[in-house]
């Protein structure tokens, strides 16, 4: 039986280092190739030795597809392609291709230059790796080879995030990557058509959450910022460079514009500026509003948001600063925080989740005194706000996507096992489809029932049409006679004559015959009732033609019914019945009728 196998190397009942292997129709595909934020050792990257113990991966993989530029989805890519070794095509969307190397380079810098790790991929490796990338457009079907094709769908989440459909013949798998079903200020909602894949591999970060309307969140956020600025306070918003940062920028920018506000907004420089540049370029990947208005003004050409300089932090008066990193564990955001923490007029807004141990986590939990390096303590007087702006689909969103795509099987990755369990139950219950949630290294096998396309000869079709009957009803199967020829990797259905001709064979007739013996008296009765009346009535009813030949033989299509008396037993009459195999149904029906239509105890055949 044909089957599809899915094995997560990462992100199986886990978040981080997404890497999923799919075998479909004899093709092997790697979906995403990410790193794990939580580890600094070998566990940081997926275990590629699962694919092969030694040597390069090229011959084991047909292609690699990267869904978006977050490092937990693409962080291991240069390692995989350059250090382990892979020369095949890597597919990603245009924005991802543009932004991915920036993030990889940043990641490399931090690990190598700052943490001093060795045996890590180099800048050159990133460049070499990116050379193997084939860009994808939305809804463009890309033929990886003759049989394997992939197609990207819009996924929301971050700029350039895509869901991918992988298709071999009539078998298909959809991988969602990370996606968002509710639009935000700069991106639209994920969308997919009713492609009915065999397996839908979905992320399930928020498997057990149903989120409130984003409008309340936005309004709260704006109100808080607005009030603080009006009070003359400073607002610090620690963000990661890409994704949420842009959404919040747009939100504030439009608010400033609408409300005619004057207080400056700053964005910490470096990485971000480069990324903003790409946001400006890839307008088609953004939401309706930005797409429609970019002719007048590109929303990413911020009017109110300027680059930040270290010295600005000491400026008097209100201001809003976006600074990296998002969890306040190092860098600019931490520096600014230290400066502003003492003033209760100021505010810090944490727009996302903070890992345990970071300062962000501490202050969110209400810690008022922080121990800093050099045994100093920092008193936190400023207001601390938490505002979740996460761009993953919530439980309802996931269900909505399933409803859109109508998959035959469901597979959950990129989430916590316990939460997945809940969602899995729900999916099985609501959609009555199988749902899987393999752990890393565990293989899920789904048996598919692919339809096999067969070429049918036009003549055969026309003949079938000419035979009459009602027009073909697309909803109901219809039987027809023909010969299936399997030759040169192709299947054809042709008429028997043509098949014979092509194969150079002679036609052989195959007939079944049977004899039914009657006693004479019975026979007369039979003749009266069965032969001429019953049979005829029934046959006419079914629309068959009946011929009476001069010698008393009756022919129904190819069936011959002949009466003869046997020499040995004059008291009996013998009914000869003969039919060709094409009329097997009718023939066997007749023979049983003839036998059953008589009193029991008669010999036959």
Partner 1 sequence: SYNTSKPLPQEEAPAKKLRLTKPSKSAALHIDLCKASNPTDALQYLLHFARSSVEAESVEGVVRILLEHYYKEQDNSVRLKIASLIGLLSKTQNFNPESILDDTLNTFNTEKSHQVLAQLLDTLLVIGTQLPESLIVRHRLIEVAYKHLSDTYFGVRNKCLQLLGCLGNVDTPLNKDGQGLVPAVIGDAQSLISDYFADQDPRVRTAAIKAMLQLHERGLKIQQTIYDQACQLLCDDYEQVRSAAVQMVWVLSQLYPESIVPIPSSNEQVRLVDDSFGKISHMVSDGSWVVRVQAAKTLGNMLQVSPHFLEQTLDKKLMSDLRRKRTAHERAKELYASGEFSSGRKWADDAPKEKVDTSAVNLIASGACGAFVHGLEDEMYEVRIAAVDALSALAQSSASFAEKCLDFLVDMFNDEIEEVRLQSIHVLRQISTNITLREDQLDTVLAVLEDSSRDIREALHELLCFTNVSTKECIQLALLELLKNLTKYPTDRNSVWKCLKFLGCRHPTLVLPLVPELLSTHPYFHTPEPDMDDPAYIAVLVLVFNAAQSCPTMTALFSDHTFRHYTYLRDSLSHLVPPLRLPGRTQAPGVSGIEGSGSVESAQLFLQQSLSRISTIHNLQDPGAQDLLNFTIRDLQRLGELQTELAGAADFSATYLRCQLLLTKALQEKLWTMAVPLCLKHNAMATAAAKQMLEETYKLEFLYSGLENRQVATIHHVRLQAKALQLVLTARTRRGVEPLISVCEKFLQEVESFQRLFVVELPHLQESFVGKLLDLSPKLSACKPGELVKILQTTLRQSGFLNLQLPKQVQRASATIIEPTGESDNPLRFTSGLVVALDIDATLEHVQDPHNTVKVQVLYPDGQSHVIQPKPGDFRSPGPHRHRLITQVYLSHSAWTEACQIEVRLLLAYSSSRLCKAVWSDSSTEGLQPAEGATEGTIPFGKPVKVFIMPKPARR
Assess whether 3 carries a catalytic annotation.
no
Residue of 1, 114, 146, 194 interacting with partner 1 (CB under 8 A): 194
Residue of 47, 52, 123, 191 interacting with partner 1 (CB under 8 A): 191
Q: How far apart are CA 587 and CA 576, in angstroms?
A: 12
Question: Are 307 and 269 a contacting pair, CB within 8 Å?
Answer: yes
Q: Does 148 bind partner 1 (CB under 8 A)?
A: no
- Residue 246's SS3 state is helix
**For the purposes of burial, counting CB atoms within 10 Å of the CB of 30, is it exposed (0-12), middle (13-18) or buried (19 or more)?**
buried
Residue of 36, 185, 234, 492 interacting with partner 1 (CB under 8 A): 185
CA 215 to chain CA centroid, Å, is 29
Query: Please, which residue, 364 or 460, has the CB nearer to partner 1?
Result: 364
Q: Does 605 bind partner 1 (CB under 8 A)?
A: no
Residue of 3, 59, 87, 425 interacting with partner 1 (CB under 8 A): 425
Rounded to a whole number of angstroms, the minimum distance from the CB of residue 256 to partner 1 is 10
Q: Does 365 bind partner 1 (CB under 8 A)?
A: yes
Residue of 316, 468, 469, 474 interacting with partner 1 (CB under 8 A): 474
**Count of residues engaged in binding partner 1, rule: CB under 8 A:** 57
Question: Are 157 and 187 a contacting pair, CB within 8 Å?
Answer: yes
| 560 torsion bin: left (phi>0), alpha (psi -120 to 50), beta (else) | beta
Question: Are 249 and 255 a contacting pair, CB within 8 Å?
Answer: no
Give φ, ψ of 302 to 5 degrees: -70, 135
Query: Please, which residue, 434 or 580, has the CB nearer to partner 1?
Result: 434
Rounded to a whole number of angstroms, the minimum distance from the CB of residue 507 to partner 1 is 33
Q: Does 291 bind partner 1 (CB under 8 A)?
A: no
Torsion sign, CA atoms 224, 229, 234, 239? positive
Rounded to a whole number of angstroms, the minimum distance from the CB of residue 233 to partner 1 is 13
Question: Are 346 and 235 a contacting pair, CB within 8 Å?
Answer: yes
Angle at 49 between CA 48 and CA 54, to 5 degrees: 120
Q: Does 210 bind partner 1 (CB under 8 A)?
A: yes
Rounded to a whole number of angstroms, the minimum distance from the CB of residue 224 to partner 1 is 7
Q: Measuring CA to CA, which residue among 43, 20, 103, 34 is closest to residue 73? A: 34
Q: Does 287 bind partner 1 (CB under 8 A)?
A: yes
Q: Does 155 bind partner 1 (CB under 8 A)?
A: no
Question: Cis omega (within 30 of 0) on the bond before 325?
Answer: yes
Q: Does 396 bind partner 1 (CB under 8 A)?
A: yes
Single out the segment in contact with partner 1 by CB under 8 A; choices: 44-52, 178-186, 308-316, 324-332.
178-186
C-alpha separations of 259 from 223, 236, 253, 262, 384 in Å:
12, 20, 10, 9, 24
Q: How far apart are CA 449 and CA 306, in angstroms?
A: 57
Using alpha carbons only, how large is the chain's radius of gyration in Å?
A: 37
Residue of 235, 384, 420, 575 interacting with partner 1 (CB under 8 A): 384
Residue of 39, 50, 353, 422 interacting with partner 1 (CB under 8 A): 422
Q: How far apart are CA 217 and CA 194, in angstroms?
A: 32
Question: Are 239 and 322 a contacting pair, CB within 8 Å?
Answer: yes
Q: Does 581 bind partner 1 (CB under 8 A)?
A: no
Angle at 569 between CA 563 and CA 573, to 5 degrees: 20
Longest C-alpha distance within the chain, in Å? 129
DSSP string, 485-540: EEETTEEEEE-HHHHHHHHT------EEEEEEEEEHHHHHHHIIIIIIIIIHHHHH
In the stretch 71-110, what mask flags binding to partner 1 with x, by CB under 8 A? ----------------------------------------
Single out the segment in contact with partner 1 by CB under 8 A; choices: 239-247, 468-476, 486-494, 545-553.
468-476
Q: Which of residues 231-260 bind partner 1 (CB under 8 A)?
A: 254, 257-260
Query: Please, which residue, 408 or 595, has the CB nearer to partner 1?
Result: 408
Query: Please, which residue, 90 or 187, has the CB nearer to partner 1?
Result: 187
The single residue of 82, 171, 203, 464 carrying the catalytic annotation is 203
Residue of 2, 89, 169, 183 interacting with partner 1 (CB under 8 A): 183
Single out the segment in contact with partner 1 by CB under 8 A; choices: 90-98, 139-147, 163-171, 361-369.
361-369
Single out the segment in contact with partner 1 by CB under 8 A; choices: 122-130, 213-221, 312-320, 476-484.
213-221
Positions touching partner 1 (CB under 8 A) are: 182-183, 185, 188-189, 191-194, 208-220, 222-224, 226, 254, 257-260, 287-289, 350, 364-366, 383-386, 395-396, 399-400, 403-404, 419, 422-423, 425-426, 430, 471, 474-475
Active site residues: 203
């Amino acid at each position: 039986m044909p089957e599809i196998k899915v094995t997560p190397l990462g992100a199986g009942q886990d978040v981080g280092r997404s890497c999923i292997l799919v075998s479909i129709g004899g093709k092997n595909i790697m979906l995403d190739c990410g790193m794990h934020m939580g580890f600094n050792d070998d566990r940081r990257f997926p275990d590629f030795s699962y694919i092969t113990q030694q040597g390069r991966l090229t011959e084991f993989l047909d292609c690699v597809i990267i869904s978006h530029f977050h490092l937990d989805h693409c962080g291991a890519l240069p390692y995989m392609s350059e250090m382990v070794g892979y020369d095949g095509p890597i597919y990603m969307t245009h924005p991802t291709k543009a932004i991915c190397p920036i993030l990889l380079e940043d990641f490399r810098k931090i690990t190598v230059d700052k943490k001093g790790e060795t045996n890590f991929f180099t800048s050159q490796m990133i460049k070499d790796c990116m050379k193997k990338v084939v860009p994808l457009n939305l809804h463009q079907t890309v033929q990886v080879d003759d049989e394997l094709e992939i197609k990207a769908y819009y996924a929301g989440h971050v700029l350039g995030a895509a869901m991918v459909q992988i298709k071999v013949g009539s078998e298909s798998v959809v991988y969602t990557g990370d996606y968002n079903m509710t639009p935000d200020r700069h991106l639209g909602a994920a969308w997919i058509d009713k492609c009915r894949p065999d397996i839908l591999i979905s992320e399930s970060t928020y498997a057990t959450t149903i989120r409130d309307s984003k409008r309340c969140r936005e309004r709260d956020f704006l109100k808080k910022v607005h009030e603080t600025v009006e009070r003359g306070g400073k607002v610090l918003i620690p963000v990661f460079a890409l994704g949420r940062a842009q959404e919040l920028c747009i939100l504030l920018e439009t608010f400033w514009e609408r409300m005619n506000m004057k207080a400056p907004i700053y964005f910490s420089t470096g990485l971000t500026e480069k990324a903003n540049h790409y946001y400006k370029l890839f307008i088609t990947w953004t939401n309706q509003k930005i797409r429609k208005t970019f002719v007048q003004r590109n929303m990413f050409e911020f009017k109110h948001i300027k680059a930040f300089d270290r010295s600005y932090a000491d400026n008097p008066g209100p201001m809003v600063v976006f600074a990296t990193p998002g969890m306040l564990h190092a860098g600019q955001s931490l520096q600014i925080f230290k400066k502003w923490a003492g003033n209760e007029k100021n505010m810090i807004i944490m727009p996302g989740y903070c890992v345990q141990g970071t300062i962000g986590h501490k202050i969110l939990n209400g810690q008022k005194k922080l121990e800093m390096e050099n045994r100093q303590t920092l008193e936190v007087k400023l207001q601390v706000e938490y505002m979740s702006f996460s761009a993953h689909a919530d439980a309802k969103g996931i269900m909505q996507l399933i409803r859109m795509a109508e998959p035959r099987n469901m597979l959950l990755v990129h989430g916590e096992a316990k939460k997945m369990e809940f969602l899995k139950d729900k999916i099985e219950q609501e959609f009555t489809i199988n749902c899987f949630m393999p752990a890393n290294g565990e293989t899920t096998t789904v048996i598919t029932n692919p339809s096999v396309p067969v070429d049918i000869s036009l003549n055969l079709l026309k003949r079938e049409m000419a035979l009459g009957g009602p027009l073909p009803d697309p909803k109901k199967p219809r039987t027809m006679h023909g010969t299936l020829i399997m030759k040169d990797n192709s299947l054809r259905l042709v008429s028997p004559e043509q098949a014979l001709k092509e194969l150079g064979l002679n036609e052989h007739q195959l007939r079944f015959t049977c004899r039914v013996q009657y006693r004479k008296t019975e026979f007369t009765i039979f003749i009266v009732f069965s032969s001429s009346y019953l049979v005829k009535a029934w046959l006419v009813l079914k629309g068959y033609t009946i011929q009476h030949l001069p010698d008393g033989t009756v022919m129904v299509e190819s069936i011959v019914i002949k009466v003869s008396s046997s020499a040995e037993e004059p008291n009996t009459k013998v009914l000869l019945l003969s039919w060709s195999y094409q009329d097997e149904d009718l023939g066997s029906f007749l023979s049983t009728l003839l036998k059953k239509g008589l009193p029991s105890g008669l010999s036959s055949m």
